[in-house]
Amino acid sequence: MDLFTIFLVFCITFIIWWDTRERRRSTRFPPGPPRLPIIGSLLSVAFKSSIPSIAFAKLAKIYGDVMYVKMGSLDAVVFSSHEAANEIFNHDKANDRVTAGFVADRNMDQNMGK
């Protein structure tokens, strides 16, 4: 077998492995834009607008107020409305979780729901 055939078989195997892994993982997350290996959803966000907040607002119209995006190797769940974030952070189970630094800083470490 020549080197090209080995490379082609490796690429096809990697794509099938990655696709099955992503399908299993995506069943636990809310809907979101399509993901690619390595870069994740960056192209979907970049093509909507050059300003991230506008891009996420446009994606929220398609996927809803709660969506899953993969930014490179980072998995993120984005809440696009105050009501969606308020609903999540009002639950007792959510109050024990570690929140992102900017959420804690903007709310001065106060409980968002109270």
Query: For residue range 7-47, what is the model confidence (pLDDT) as tens digits?
Result: 888 888 888 877 777 666 556 778 888 887 778 788 888 88
Q: What is the chain's mean pLDDT, rounded? A: 75
When pLDDT is cut at 50, 70 and 90, the band that residue 108 belongs to is very low
* Residue 100, both tokens: 């992102």
pTM score of the predicted model: 0.57
**Domain regions of the chain by residue span:** 3-80
Q: What pLDDT score was predicted for residue 105? A: 47
Q: What pLDDT score was predicted for residue 35? A: 80
pLDDT tens digit sequence for 45-97? 888 888 888 888 888 899 988 888 888 778 888 888 888 888 877 766 655 55
- How many whole angstroms separate alpha carbon 90 and alpha carbon 17? 38
Q: What pLDDT score was predicted for residue 44? A: 80
* Residue 15, both tokens: 């794509």
